[in-house]
Amino acid sequence: MALLPLLSMVSSFLFLSSMAELPMLEHPLKSDGSLSLLVIGDWGRKGTFNQTLVAAQMGRIGESLDIDFVVSTGDNFYEEGLTGIDDKEFEESFTNIYAAESLQKQWYSVLGNHDYRGDVLAQLSPVLRQIDRRWLCLRSFVLNAEIVDFFFVDTTPFVEHYWDNPKGHHYDWRGVAPRETYISNLVKDLDLALKESPARWKVVVGHHTIRSASVHGDTIELQLLLLPILKENGVDFYVNGHDHCLEHISSNDCPLQFLTSGGGSKAWRGILNSVSDKLEFFYDGQGFMSLQLTKTQAHVVFYDAFGNALHKQAITKQFHSQI
């Protein structure tokens, strides 16, 4: 069977029947029914711009929280993604940097706009898992962990101006073009997957911002096409990178929280704009985020490059019997 080698390569999780059209993976909870993870974005710079410092603190916090996995919000390799599956930057920016014991867990990654400027198929290739078995990057997928479903969304193709090769940058649209078909299918699949999800917590992960007080600000295409279905389907958190900072914004008209974790390496752009929702926390520097979940509680913490907890948010959900 041609499938067997593939299945053994991905032994730390299971491919289940797909939820709608999105591939679905599964991750077990801890024996006490909880889950904890770190979120990092905008990182791969061969250790420079304090990437190594942030990584060391992720290792320390990851150990104290006994994390189950790591989520990467994209822009995994600067400036132009990977050149191919044999690009040494994979080891130089990932394997050798996130070397701490506690980070030797599964990493679930999406692609950022910089990743699209290289060989995008390389990052999606199972061959990378032979080099470092932690690596898993897919375009869009659902990760189920009983109490929570994570919906990873490939946001780069939404952004219209990338399709005009801005500043002469080439984007690798293999498997994506034409844009309109790709996006309308993705929005439909995501909406269906959200509707079918019985999980208590729903977390959507993408690279681009929906709400941001930093340089890039709101991403208009996501605000128009994604935000309505996140609100309609009771999504708890939208987690992203793209702006190289840490921020927490809460929606004015629904329970949705916007969490930016894009402080994996280069930061400090010195811009703070007003936002149309409520800005709860903003740090224009390097760091990362943790998320701990139980059936009834979510704890979000943002950390700086020294591992100091800068901002904490706890959310409690009352228990309702499942429908």
Binding footprint of ligand NAG on the chain (CB under 6 A): 49-50, 285, 305
Min CB(112)–ligand NAG separation in Å: 19
**Complex with ligand NAG: residue 225 or 310, whichever CB lies closer:** 310
70: which 2 tokens? Answer: 């790591």
Nearest distance in Å: CB 28, ligand NAG: 36
Q: Which residues pair with 44 in a beta bridge?
A: 77
Q: How far is CA 246 from the centre of its chain?
A: 14
Pairing of strands 237-240, 257-261: parallel
CB nearer to ligand NAG: give 39 or 305: 305
Shorter beta-carbon distance to ligand NAG: residue 206 or 241: 241
Which residue is nearest to ligand NAG, using beta carbons?
50
Nearer to ligand NAG, 37 or 54 (CB): 54
Whether 207 sits among the annotated catalytic residues: the reply is no
Q: Choosing from 216, 242, 244, 248, which is the catalytic residue?
A: 216
In angstroms, the CA 12 to CA 317 distance is 30
Q: Is 268 left (phi over 0), alpha (psi -120 to 50) or beta?
A: left
Q: Which residue has the tokens 């070397």?
A: 99
Q: How far is the CB of 77 from ligand NAG (least distance, A)?
A: 18
Q: State the nearest-atom distance from the C-beta of 287 to ligand NAG, in Å.
A: 9
Contact 110, 145 (CB under 8 A): no
Asked if residues 128 and 10 have their Cβ atoms less than 8 Å apart, the reply is no
Q: Which residues are catalytic?
A: 216
